[in-house]
Chain A
Amino acid sequence: MTYAFDFASLLEYRDILLAGTLRTLALTAIGTFFGLALGVLGAASRAWQLAPWNRVFAVYVELIRNTPFLVQLFFIFFGLPSLGVSINEWQASILAMVINLGAYSTEIIRAGIEATPRGQIEAAESLAMTRRQIFLRVVLAPALRKVWPAICSQVVIVMLGSSVCSQIAAEELTFAANFIQSRNFRAFETYFVVTGMYFLLALAIRQLMLRAGDRLIGGRRT
């Protein structure tokens, strides 16, 4: 038995694929922005033992790192409405991604903060800077720089993980693939192409973020 490949049959679905790709990117962008912001707060709380937040973040990080992303997503999407919080599939997806990335990036960024030489903090203290000023102006940029490659990898993992948001009918790239193959019955071609698209997205996001890091985090590599 021979199988006749028919990639051309995908052409008529290109708008759906494009829309799914853009939504995956949008999910990733929003999730990354707020996830990293949460990670910075968590890392600061943990590294500088700001009670009670250090405890809160410690529990949060352990909870998220030791449970599956799909279950976290279901919990938010199906669980919260039973508490009377109404939430749609996009809100649930974004929330799940922010919470997930927030936990992993808390640990990543914390390592960067803890690698700050003690002497630099003392120098800033001796200049009468406050703790908040020291964190924002002295500690944060070099810390982010040190761990930026790890953050980029984690963002890629989160982007790939966003494919499970198709399970709550968020119409992102994997949802588009499922939809298309249910119409054209070309599972191989469809998933082959979508796999390639994820692969390219991952490469592109990593490169983009590495470059953005060089530009945005201020100053030079250390």
Chain B
Amino acid sequence: MALVRIDGLHKHFGSNHVLKGINLKVERGEVVALIGRSGSGKSTLLRSINGLERFEDGLIEVDGERLHAGQTNLRDLRQKVGMVFQQFNLFPHLSAGQNVMLAPEVVKKLPKAECESIARAMLAKVGLAEKFDAYPDQLSGGQQQRVAIARALAMQPQVLLCDEITSALDPELVSEVLAVVKTLAAEGMTLVMVTHEMRFAREVGDTLVFMHEGRIHESGAPDTLFTRPRTPELANFIGSIH
């Protein structure tokens, strides 16, 4: 059974129909790369999966945890879904280690010592073991984003959502973040990522999903889609970024 199942998802912002019936299945361990023009609804779809956006119609299910339109209790779902944002969104008053420890401590209510060892392990995983006591403003963008990944991983999510996590980075810092994502993918983490790094999407993604005007316009194996796009919209999109 699919780890993530999205059925007939509809979302409006006012009169703007942003998601027009999204159906998507993500298997455990699968890496899905979401691509598409700005405004096509990629972020909105991702944010719906952990309840940051409400939707009007449809169903989302993650590892047996169901989310209906208008549902307000999101805690169980959110514990299964991690998210990494374009703007890192670290907590500025907490050190890197404290950023990672916070949710295990207050949400899972684990003992502090255990939270700390989780945090150390997660920071080590993203290559920042020695930055435990550094504050966000002492870290480069790439390091901050890696802390944000560690923070999400500390909750042991079933699936990790990444929304253009390298778009706010200076070009020379992109690869260190992509390397972490690649490692996670190799370890079998289920990933849904919005990305403009097409080479990376092709290399790491198992499935490419092309969104266009609020619909999944085309999806399939990355190599196939890149070399033989079936729709003119995807062909156009691929042409426009090369």
What is the CA–CA distance of A123 and B74 in the complex, to the nearest angstrom?
Answer: 14
State which residues 62-119 of B face A: CB under 8 Å.
Answer: 74-75, 78-79, 81-83, 85, 87, 89-95, 102-103, 106-107
Given A125-B52, A126-B78, A126-B82, also A117-B89 (CB < 8 A): yes
Chain B 30-51 near chain A by CB (<8 Å), digits 1 or 0: 0000000000000000000011
- Is A145 located at the chain interface by the 8 A CB criterion? yes
| Residues of chain B with a CB closer than 8 A to A222's CB | 92-93, 137
What is the CA–CA distance of A119 and B81 in the complex, to the nearest angstrom?
Answer: 17
| Residues of chain B with a CB closer than 8 A to A141's CB | 93
State which residues 123-141 of A face B: CB under 8 Å.
Answer: 123-130, 133, 137-138, 141
21 contacts between A and B (CB under 8 A): A117-B87, A119-B87, A120-B90, A122-B52, A123-B85, A123-B91, A123-B148, A125-B52, A125-B74, A126-B52, A126-B78, A126-B81, A126-B82, A127-B152, A128-B78, A137-B106, A142-B91, A219-B93, A220-B92, A220-B135, A220-B137
What is the CA–CA distance of A128 and B93 in the complex, to the nearest angstrom?
Answer: 19
What is the CA–CA distance of A141 and B50 in the complex, to the nearest angstrom?
Answer: 26
- Is A52 located at the chain interface by the 8 A CB criterion? no
Chain A interfacial positions (CB closer than 8 Å to B) = 117, 119-120, 122-130, 133, 137-138, 141-142, 145, 217-220, 222
**Closest A-B pairs by Cβ, 7 of them:** A219-B93, A128-B78, A123-B89, A127-B103, A119-B89, A126-B83, A222-B92
> Would you call A128 and B102 a contact (CB within 8 A)?
no
> Would you call A127 and B89 a contact (CB within 8 A)?
no
What is the CA–CA distance of A119 and B82 in the complex, to the nearest angstrom?
Answer: 14
> Would you call A122 and B137 a contact (CB within 8 A)?
no
| Residues of chain B with a CB closer than 8 A to A217's CB | 93
| Residues of chain B with a CB closer than 8 A to A126's CB | 50, 52, 78, 81-83, 152
> Would you call A145 and B81 a contact (CB within 8 A)?
no
> Closest B-chain residue to A217, C-beta based?
B93
- Is B151 located at the chain interface by the 8 A CB criterion? yes
How far is the CB of B162 from the nearest CB of chain A, in Å? 12
State which residues 97-156 of B face A: CB under 8 Å.
Answer: 102-103, 106-107, 135, 137, 148, 151-152, 155
What is the CA–CA distance of A125 and B50 in the complex, to the nearest angstrom?
Answer: 9
| Residues of chain A with a CB closer than 8 A to B152's CB | 126-127
Residue pairs across A and B with CB atoms within 8 Å: the count is 76
> Closest A-chain residue to B108, C-beta based?
A128
> Would you call B75 and A145 a contact (CB within 8 A)?
no
What is the CA–CA distance of A130 and B106 in the complex, to the nearest angstrom?
Answer: 9
> Would you call A128 and B85 a contact (CB within 8 A)?
no
| Residues of chain A with a CB closer than 8 A to B52's CB | 122, 125-126
What is the CA–CA distance of A20 and B75 in the complex, to the nearest angstrom?
Answer: 54
How far is the CB of A121 from the nearest CB of chain B, in Å? 9
> Would you call B94 and A219 a contact (CB within 8 A)?
yes
| Residues of chain A with a CB closer than 8 A to B135's CB | 219-220
> Closest B-chain residue to A140, C-beta based?
B93
What is the CA–CA distance of A17 and B57 in the complex, to the nearest angstrom?
Answer: 72
| Residues of chain B with a CB closer than 8 A to A133's CB | 106-107
| Residues of chain B with a CB closer than 8 A to A130's CB | 75
| Residues of chain A with a CB closer than 8 A to B93's CB | 141-142, 145, 217-220, 222
**Residue from the set A120, A126, A220 with the largest chain B CB neighbour count within 10 Å:** A126
| Residues of chain B with a CB closer than 8 A to A220's CB | 92-93, 135, 137
> Closest A-chain residue to B78, C-beta based?
A128
> Closest B-chain residue to A136, C-beta based?
B106
Chain B 164-190 near chain A by CB (<8 Å), digits 1 or 0: 000000000000000000000000000
> Would you call A128 and B79 a contact (CB within 8 A)?
yes
What is the CA–CA distance of A100 and B122 in the complex, to the nearest angstrom?
Answer: 47
> Would you call B89 and A128 a contact (CB within 8 A)?
no
What is the CA–CA distance of A123 and B165 in the complex, to the nearest angstrom?
Answer: 13
Given A119-B87, A133-B106, A222-B137, also A127-B92 (CB < 8 A): no
> Would you call A125 and B89 a contact (CB within 8 A)?
no
Sample of 12 further A-B pairs with CB below 8 A, known A123-B90, A126-B50, A130-B75 = A119-B89, A120-B92, A122-B85, A123-B89, A123-B151, A124-B91, A127-B78, A127-B103, A127-B152, A128-B103, A129-B107, A137-B102
What is the CA–CA distance of A122 and B161 in the complex, to the nearest angstrom?
Answer: 13
> Closest A-chain residue to B138, C-beta based?
A220
